[in-house]
């Protein structure tokens, strides 16, 4: 029996899982031809039964991926979208269509992991934070530039050079690079801690903190709160989502 292929197509990386519960695989796809990347990593994969695609990439990238799977396997991906409610979770956006589908899948997965409430932090090209109460209500969240983007903006808009020096202290920067890095890391940590404290103080919930995304390893050493690191959170949410009746 052929397995299903789950794909999380981001702004800079493709992450996938062939078969429920299998390890996540990932590759950077950059600015070059997508076909060359997919030929390298997928050409030897067995043909999947179904393909489920959650994409926040530009439409041209999504179309190129769909064209590749159609040619290689004769399978067109089912594109996963955001609904007002799914899998016991309700979307907090006034217009659910504006919420990134990767965030929605991560929220659905987080509800399974932390049914008493969750604070979901995805450290990718952008850093996003979403909060979920114990009733499965998505209360909203925040979006800020990702770690690499913050460094790039500082380098472009100021005379600071983040390439000079290294980060050695966990507390205070002692070079331009360490001041920049620690400022970025601790700003994300402060946002996480403040969000959790506000939920607790308001009696909304005592949320579990879940980190995901390629840059979360940079944030983890500075976070004093108990937390879980789940690299495949979006793919986990996709598996839960497609098992719901009617999908």
pLDDT of 168 higher than 80? no
Tens digits of per-residue pLDDT, 10-57? 988 999 999 988 999 999 998 778 999 999 999 999 999 999 999 999
- Of the pLDDT bands very low, low, confident and very high (cuts 50, 70, 90), residue 238 is very high
Give the tokens for residue 186.
């601790």
pLDDT-derived band at 165 (thresholds 50, 70, 90) equals: low
Q: How far is CA 189 from CA 59, 127, 149, 186, in A?
A: 33, 11, 17, 5
Section 167-196 average pLDDT: 87
Instruction: Kindly list the catalytic residues.
Output: 102
What is the structure's pLDDT at 35?
A: 93
- At 110 the pLDDT is 98
pLDDT tens digits along 118-154:
999 999 989 999 999 999 999 999 999 999 899 888 8
At 156 the pLDDT is: 86
**How far is it, in rounded angstroms, from Cα 180 to Cα 40?**
36
Residue 167 reports pLDDT greater than 70: no
Q: How many CB atoms lie within 10 A of CB 194?
A: 10
> Do residues 110 and 234 make contact, with C-beta atoms less than 8 angstroms apart?
no
Residues making up the chain, counted from first to last: 247
* Span 62-93, pLDDT tens digits: 999 999 999 999 999 999 999 999 999 999 99
pLDDT of residue 70: 97
pLDDT of residue 166: 56
What is the maximum alpha-carbon separation in the chain?
58
Q: What is the CA radius of gyration of the chain?
A: 19
- Pairwise pLDDT comparison (237 vs 20), residue with the higher score: 237
- Percent residues over pLDDT 90 in the chain: 79
The per-residue pLDDT of the chain, averaged, comes to 93
User: SS3 for the chain, per residue?
Assistant: CCCCEEEEECCCEEEEEECCCCCCEEEECCCCCHHHHHHHHHCCCCCCCCEEEEECCCHHHHHHHHHHHHHHHCCCCEECCCCCEECCEECCCCCHHHCCHHHHHHHHHHHHHCCCCEEEEEECCEEEEEEECCCCEEEEEEEEECHHHHHHHHHHHCCCCCCCCCCCCCCCCCCHHHHHHHHHHHHHHHHHHHHHHHHHHCCCCCCEEEEECCCHHHHHHHCCCCEEECCCHHHHHHHHHHHCCCC
């Amino acid at each position: 029996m052929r397995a299903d292929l789950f794909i999380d197509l981001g702004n800079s990386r493709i992450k996938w899982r062939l078969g429920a519960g299998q390890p996540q695989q990932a590759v950077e796809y950059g600015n070059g031809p997508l076909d060359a990347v997919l030929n390298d990593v997928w050409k030897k994969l067995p043909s999947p039964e179904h393909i489920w695609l959650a994409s926040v990439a530009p439409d041209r990238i999504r179309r190129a991926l769909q064209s590749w799977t159609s040619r290689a396997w004769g399978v067109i991906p089912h594109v996963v979208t955001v609904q007002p409610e799914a899998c016991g979770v309700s979307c907090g956006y006034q217009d659910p269509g504006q919420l990134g589908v990767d965030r929605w899948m991560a929220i659905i997965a987080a509800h399974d992991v932390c049914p008493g409430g969750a604070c979901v932090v995805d450290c990718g090209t952008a850093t996003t934070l979403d909060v979920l109460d114990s009733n499965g209500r998505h209360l909203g969240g925040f979006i800020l530039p990702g770690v690499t983007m913050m460094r790039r903006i500082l380098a472009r808009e100021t005379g600071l050079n983040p390439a000079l020096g290294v980060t050695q202290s966990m507390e205070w920067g002692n070079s331009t690079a360490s001041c920049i890095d620690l400022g970025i890391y601790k700003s994300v940590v402060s946002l996480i801690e403040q969000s959790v404290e506000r939920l607790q103080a308001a009696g909304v919930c005592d949320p579990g903190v879940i980190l995901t995304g390629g840059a979360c390893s940079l944030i983890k050493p500075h976070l004093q709160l108990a937390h879980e690191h789940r690299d495949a959170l979006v793919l986990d949410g996709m598996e839960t989502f497609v098992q719901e009746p009617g999908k």
